[in-house]
Amino acid sequence: MYVLGIETSCDETGVAIYHPERGLICHHLYSQVDMHNEYGGVVPELASRDHIRKLIPLIKQTLQESGLEKSDIGGIAYTAGPGLMGALLVGAATARSLAWAWGIPAIAVHHMEGHLLAPMLEDNPPAFPFVALLISGGHTLLVQVEGIGRYQLLGESLDDAAGEAFDKTAKLLGLGYPGGPKLAELAEQGKPTFKFPRPMTDRPGLDFSFSGLKTFTLNTFNNSPKTDQDKADIAAAFQQAVAETLSIKCRRAIKQTGIKRLVVAGGVSANKQIRAALSALAALEKSEIYFPRSEFCTDNGAMIAYAGCQRLLRGEQQNLEIFARPRWPMNELL
């Protein structure tokens, strides 16, 4: 069964086709970064309109390059949330309409489940069970994964997620949009000479909080001479603090669950220092660690096609309702 995957949760339009035996057939991604850069962040209305313009042409292109006809598609998976409501509705309405017109099932996919399962697209996918650290945009989650749809939430961000803290710190330093990659690039030119806290590591538990770290960065910046080197050193200290905080929490999760297998996914998982810190942790704990390739760290249609395919194979599907939830806690996902 060929499954068409559609991702439109924020500022990237992703389309992919996946087959349970042949694997990923074809995928395409259109990024709106250049358009939103002018405004210093994502403008929801512009994002929605751009998805409308780009989604159908991308679907046609993906079908053509895969050598498939619409009659070959056996199901459609789409991101139903969380995300920007207008953007989600574009993907949901398109997927639901095509499924009705083609006489095939459609399945709503949780955006974070897509990220969680992205490493399954690799040649050496992780075996179940594993602990997953999901660090994507407004979400920082630790999840115990026993199988498809069998998830236990271990910890989550109580305020700002790691990705939000990266973006807000980058804006503070005048780095523009998208902030995370720009801050990581600046950090490579600095040294962590400033001493930053590792939030919520001095107490038990697996929850995260990066709001205080953002405030600490602001105070440090305001009290510094604000030279280019100061900015680079602040970026390096901030990035190191986030990487070590994530590492400490992941080590706790490994010890708490006894699972020696760690998956790290989501846009922030592409950060080199975070990857290095978590890889060092895995080596220390004699654990296996898995990352998706860089193109599957950010939002993409391939992860949605894969996640949707697994659920369709289990016999799941939605009715004709156009389902979209801008807020969709992962602990509600069964």
Q: Which amino acid is at 263?
A: V
Structure tokens at 45: 């209305």
Query: At CA 303, angle to CA 83 and CA 313, rounded to 5?
Result: 110
136 annotated to bind ligand: yes
254 annotated to bind ligand: no
135 annotated to bind ligand: yes
Cβ-based neighbours of 99, under 8 Å, separated by 6 or more = 75, 76, 105, 106
228 annotated to bind ligand: no
**Whose CA is closest to 130, among 9, 227, 263?**
263
Residue 51 CA to residue 63 CA, distance in Å, equals 18
- Per the CB < 8 A criterion, the answer to whether 77 and 6 are in contact is yes
- Per the CB < 8 A criterion, the answer to whether 214 and 168 are in contact is yes
139 annotated to bind ligand: no
Residue 134 CA to residue 100 CA, distance in Å, equals 33
Residue 302 CA to residue 223 CA, distance in Å, equals 45
180 annotated to bind ligand: yes
202 annotated to bind ligand: no
322 annotated to bind ligand: no
Cβ-based neighbours of 322, under 8 Å, separated by 6 or more = 89, 92, 93, 96
Cβ atoms within 10 Å of 176's Cβ, excluding its own: 12
111 annotated to bind ligand: yes
Show binding-site residues: 111, 115, 134-138, 167, 180, 271, 299
Show binding-site residues for substrate: 134-138, 167, 180, 271
Show binding-site residues for Fe cation: 111, 115, 299
